[in-house]
């Protein structure tokens, strides 16, 4: 069992839900990324998602797009990010999932990328622009290197697509809460309970919900429906607004309280 699936299994036994904060690798810098992984872990993160900066992030809204551009401007590359993770992850204690667009893997080479990710201690992978039917090579190497794959489904996904994504996911199934890109929302779509219920009829694998979640109340409501909550833009914004990381620490603790309640 890979580390992502194992963490979800542990949480399920303890009747707890996963809090998964997202940060952009290399924003504001690689040294800060290393520090932030420890900050998020100690604040209560159950898993941490790390974005690989990319020039054409089609799934991301303006906050994460800006973070990715800052990282690229600062000279962050795949090699430098993986080298940073390799220094930190062995002693972190919280599994880290990379979020990367497929072009990044394709140009580096699928096998090479997966081998390097494994060597760096990466536990899982999210590729938002790769459908499960196109992931044959990736699934092979993910199994070889024990890296959990986590495919996305959307409110518009038909039952067969949900079934395929669930079958290919070896960590958790990533449910996108809304139609659109990442970003903070004042209100989540009213159809989320029906969407999660529809997913649960197709699979017994853990379901994590992301896109749009930023408040304690939103985390609490999603935690009552799903197995995990992914928070991206609100975390990235908190990091950008306070270089002491006190604001992001408070945000993660607040979200954790929402899931516990």
Note the helical H segments in the chain.
3-13, 30-43, 62-73, 78-88, 102-108, 110-120, 136-145, 159-168, 192-200, 216-223, 233-241, 246-260
**Residues contacting 236, CB < 8 A, separation 6+:** 22, 23, 24, 27, 63, 64, 67
59 has pLDDT over 90: no
Residue for token pair 């139609």: 179
Whether 116 shows a pLDDT value over 90: the answer reads yes
CA separation, residue 204 to residues 5, 35, 181, 196, 201 (Å): 12, 35, 27, 12, 8
Tokens 């941490």 correspond to 48
Would you state the pLDDT for residue 20?
98
CB contact burial 10-37 (16+ within 10 A = b; e otherwise): ebeeeebbbbbbbbbbbbbebebbbebb
Kindly indicate the confidence band of residue 247, based on its pLDDT and cuts at 50, 70 and 90: very high
pTM, entire model: 0.95
Confidence of residue 261 (pLDDT cuts 50, 70, 90): low
Please provide the CATH number assigned to the domain covering 3-259.
3.20.20.70
Q: Residue 175 carries which DSSP code?
A: E
| The pLDDT value given to residue 193 | 95
Q: What is the pLDDT of residues 89-99, one digit of tens each?
A: 999 999 999 99
Q: Average pLDDT of the chain?
A: 95
pLDDT tens readout for residues 19-34: 999 999 999 999 999 9
Catalogue the active-site residues. Answer: 49, 60
- Whether residue 200 has pLDDT greater than 80: yes
| pLDDT beyond 70 at 106 | yes
Residue 178: is its pLDDT beyond 70?
A: yes
Longest CA pairwise span in the chain (Å): 46
pLDDT of the residue at 89? 97
Q: 119: closest CA among 92, 84, 94, 151?
A: 84
Domain boundaries, the chain: 3-259
């Amino acid at each position: 069992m890979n580390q992502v699936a194992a963490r979800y299994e542990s949480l399920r036994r303890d009747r707890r839900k996963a809090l998964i904060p997202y940060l952009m690798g290399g924003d504001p810098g690689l040294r800060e990324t290393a520090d932030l992984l420890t900050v998020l872990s100690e604040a209560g993160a159950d898993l941490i998602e790390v974005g690989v900066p990319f020039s054409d992030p089609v799934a991301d809204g303006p906050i994460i797009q800006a973070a990715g551009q800052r990282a690229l401007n600062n000279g962050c590359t795949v090699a430098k990010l993986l080298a940073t993770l390799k220094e930190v992850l062995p002693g972190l204690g919280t599994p880290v999932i990379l979020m990367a667009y497929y072009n990044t893997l394709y140009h580096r080479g699928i096998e090479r990328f997966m081998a390097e990710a494994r060597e760096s201690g990466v536990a899982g992978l999210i590729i938002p622009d790769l459908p499960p039917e196109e992931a044959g090579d990736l699934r092979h190497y993910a199994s070889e290197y024990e890296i959990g794959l986590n495919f996305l489904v959307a409110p518009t996904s038909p039952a067969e697509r949900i079934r395929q994504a669930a079958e290919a996911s070896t960590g958790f199934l990533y449910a996108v809460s809304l139609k659109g890109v990442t970003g903070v929302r004042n209100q989540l779509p009213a159809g989320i309970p029906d969407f999660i219920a529809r997913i649960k009829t197709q699979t017994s694998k853990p379901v994590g919900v992301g896109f749009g979640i930023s408040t304690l109340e939103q985390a609490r409501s999603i935690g009552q429906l799903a197995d995990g909550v992914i928070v991206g833009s609100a975390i990235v914004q908190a990091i950008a607004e306070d270089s002491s990381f006190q604001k992001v620490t408070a945000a993660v603790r607040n979200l954790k309280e929402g899931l516990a309640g």
